[in-house]
Structure 1
């Protein structure tokens, strides 16, 4: 994950991303090579920044995916094949921790052993 230096917009869409060398070789600034994640402005119980797409674990061991929807960030809990918004992300940030994200750790949200993961 990295913080880009600059975005260029064309017709209201991101057309180019200036990224420092940390983006790695072969990344020429084309936005199709990047997943844009929005920062929620919040920190988890360990002081780590929370971004859209992060996976949070609460004090009960339940896992949530952070999503921006309807003009706000929401923690989504998986019940079977459905993900349900439970509460405000601001309300749960202090008692949960970021354990990964859906881009690098998609398997975190798979259902295992009957638990909602």
Structure 2
């Protein structure tokens, strides 16, 4: 099985999201990210480049879902929904993409993101990302 591995980067300097074409580390462990602004490649260095990995999933509109995306999850049964963030939990001894900020009323026995896509009962829609659309997370429980 072939899995597509790709990244995007948010530039904290330019305040823009870019698709990534290359990632390199130098001998001093500095990260160098080559991104595409649509005209020419630009270089992002260290903390300026906030990298987000593609999950391999697409939302109900066919849009690629990345780490850091804000999703609206809606049930097909009653149309109720909530907003949560896609997060990589590898740093917390849970090597998987999953959702962070799921309201307590919504209970999943296992990985919520996997359960949503396997069950087909709920749908996901990318409504923003944590860098450009933080206001979408305001007022959440």
TM-score of the pair, normalised by structure 1: 0.74
Q: RMSD between aligned alpha carbons?
A: 3.1
Please tell me whether the aligned partners of residues 18 and 29 of structure 1 are also in contact (alpha carbons under 8 angstroms). yes
Q: 1:55 aligns with which of 59, 70, 78?
A: 70
Matched, 1:101 2:132: no
In the alignment, the residues of structure 2 paired with residue 12 and residue 85 of structure 1 have an alpha-carbon distance, to the nearest angstrom, of 44
Output the TM-score relative to the length of structure 2: 0.63
Shift of 1:14: 5.1
1:33 aligns with 2:48: yes
Cα distance change of structure 1 residues 85 and 52 upon mapping to structure 2, 3 Å threshold:
farther
Residues 51, 9 of structure 1: CA spacing in aligned structure 2 closer, same or farther, 3 A cutoff? same
Structure 1 segment 1-117 matched on structure 2, within 5 A: 1-10=17-26, 13=29, 15-22=31-38, 28-59=43-74, 60-69=80-89, 70-79=94-103, 86=108, 87-93=111-117, 95-111=123-139, 116=141
Structure 2 unmatched ranges of 5 or more: 1-16, 75-79
- 1:75, 1:85 within 8 Å by CA — same for their partners in 2? no
Describe the SS at the equivalent of 1:19: strand
Q: Could you say if the C-alpha distance between residues 108 and 23 of structure 1 is closer, same or farther in structure 2, counting changes exceeding 3 Å?
A: farther
| Greater displacement, 49-58 / 3-12 | 3-12
Cα distance in 2 for partners of 1:85, 1:105 equals 26
Q: How many residues align?
A: 109
